[in-house]
Chain A
Amino acid sequence: MIVRLLAVMAAALALAGPAAACAHPRTSLAALEGQVMCPVCHTTLDQSNSQAAQQIKTFIAQRIAKCWTAQQIETALVANYGQAILAEPSHKGFDLLAWWLPIVGVLVGAIVLAFGVWRWSRRQGDEPPPAEESGLDDETERKIDELLAGME
């Protein structure tokens, strides 16, 4: 593992010199590692030390050294591995569902919850207060009624 890490670092360092002067802010391996998937272990590169992940890390490090932008690197990776190499779905076509569905779900859930609370609070207000309990059993109450009737 250490050898592999050293290989990635060495590749980045070896190519760092000629790339010192980029026309745009240079991206970093750390920034891209969380956005690119390892195609065989299905985790992001920063969580994988597989051979496939190491190869992609080296590829990214070399392209960064050549002043490629993050977008250019991602495009090259998609050309090789397909869209699934990116951790985030794209912002177009069917993939848009992945972005909007959770938001729609949360909104619908909030509306349903608000409606339920509103109905419940309305019902609470409409209900007549419960009759007071005398605390006496039926037999005692009957006797009291008889006594009261006798007094009248």
Chain B
Amino acid sequence: MTGRAKLIGQVAALACVAGLLALLVWKLAHQRHAPPVGSAAPAFTLPLLDGPGSVSLTSLRGHPVVLNFWASWCLPCKAEARVLERDWKRYGSRGVQFVGVDSDDLSSEARRFVTAHRLTFPMLDDGPGGVKGSYGISQVPETYVLDAKGKIVAHLAGPITDEGLASQFQAALKEVA
């Protein structure tokens, strides 16, 4: 092989390795992690699950927000629904806005879930889970509690019916309400 052809081959091989390395770095850099408590909650706008219109997080500024990520196939979400609706009725009158975010789900099943559990707070359709990803949600249900300025006060990674998380959730609600 001539020196020139050899050099071209070496440069091409090096370019391939550099490309693969760049892909790895890009993947690592774009891994989504849960935003830490104390930071600003990632902004989003999502369509309502049960009709026309959408809700943006910024439009809720001035109100504490409970952001609950769920899906109709998720068994713990069913047990949690009753608690969320009870607390929505209790704290909604004090200005706390509850919002449900449904991801990776069949919209028809999600609407059926809302009706079956008589949930009355706004439910948003996150489709393939873009917002779920920006909140670093790995498994539903997960719940974020935000203060009136949009800062994360609590992140509950699991059903709020669990013993430990239930007390954390109630404490966060009392803090922001």
Which residues of A are in contact with B by a Cβ distance under 8 Å? 39-40, 50-52, 54-56, 59, 80-82, 84-85, 112, 116, 119
Q: Is the pair B127, A55 in contact by a Cβ cutoff of 8 Å?
A: no
List the B side residues contacting A81 at CB < 8 Å. 104, 127-128
List the B side residues contacting A51 at CB < 8 Å. 73-75
User: How far in angstroms is the closest Cβ of chain B from A150?
Assistant: 50
Question: Is B107 on the interface with A (CB-CB < 8 A)?
Answer: yes
Q: Is the pair B127, A82 in contact by a Cβ cutoff of 8 Å?
A: yes
The main secondary structure of chain A at its interface with chain B is helix
A39 to B105 CA separation, bound complex (whole angstroms): 8
User: How far in angstroms is the closest Cβ of chain B from A105?
Assistant: 10
Q: Give the residue name and chain of the B residue nearest to A82 (CB).
A: B128
Q: Give the residue name and chain of the A residue nearest to B139 (CB).
A: A40
6 further A-B pairs in the complex, CB-CB below 8 A; given A39-B129, A54-B73: A39-B104, A51-B74, A55-B72, A55-B73, A56-B106, A80-B107
Residue pairs across A and B with Cβ atoms less than 8 A apart, 17 shown, are A39-B128, A40-B139, A51-B73, A51-B74, A52-B73, A52-B104, A55-B72, A55-B73, A55-B106, A80-B105, A80-B106, A81-B104, A81-B127, A82-B127, A82-B128, A84-B128, A116-B1
Q: Give the residue name and chain of the B residue nearest to A85 (CB).
A: B128
A39 to B139 CA separation, bound complex (whole angstroms): 11
List the B side residues contacting A56 at CB < 8 Å. 106
A61 to B70 CA separation, bound complex (whole angstroms): 24
Q: Give the residue name and chain of the A residue nearest to B105 (CB).
A: A80
From 96 to 126 in chain B, residues with beta carbon under 8 angstroms from any chain A beta carbon are 104-107, 109
Question: Is B71 on the interface with A (CB-CB < 8 A)?
Answer: yes
List the A side residues contacting B71 at CB < 8 Å. 52
A51 to B74 CA separation, bound complex (whole angstroms): 7
Q: Which 3 A-B pairs have the closest CB atoms?
A: A82-B128, A39-B104, A51-B73
List the B side residues contacting A54 at CB < 8 Å. 73
8 Å CB contact of B109 from A55, A82, A112, A119: A55
From 27 to 50 in chain B, residues with beta carbon under 8 angstroms from any chain A beta carbon are none
Q: Is the pair A119, B127 in contact by a Cβ cutoff of 8 Å?
A: no
Q: Is the pair A80, B127 in contact by a Cβ cutoff of 8 Å?
A: yes
List the A side residues contacting B139 at CB < 8 Å. 40
User: How far in angstroms is the closest Cβ of chain B from A72?
Assistant: 15
List the A side residues contacting B75 at CB < 8 Å. 51
User: How far in angstroms is the closest Cβ of chain A from B76?
Assistant: 10
Q: Is the pair A59, B106 in contact by a Cβ cutoff of 8 Å?
A: yes
A66 to B127 CA separation, bound complex (whole angstroms): 24
Contact with A along B65-83 (1 / 0, CB 8 A): 0000001111100000000
User: How far in angstroms is the closest Cβ of chain A from B59?
Assistant: 25
List the A side residues contacting B107 at CB < 8 Å. 80
8 Å CB contact of B104 from A40, A59, A116: A40
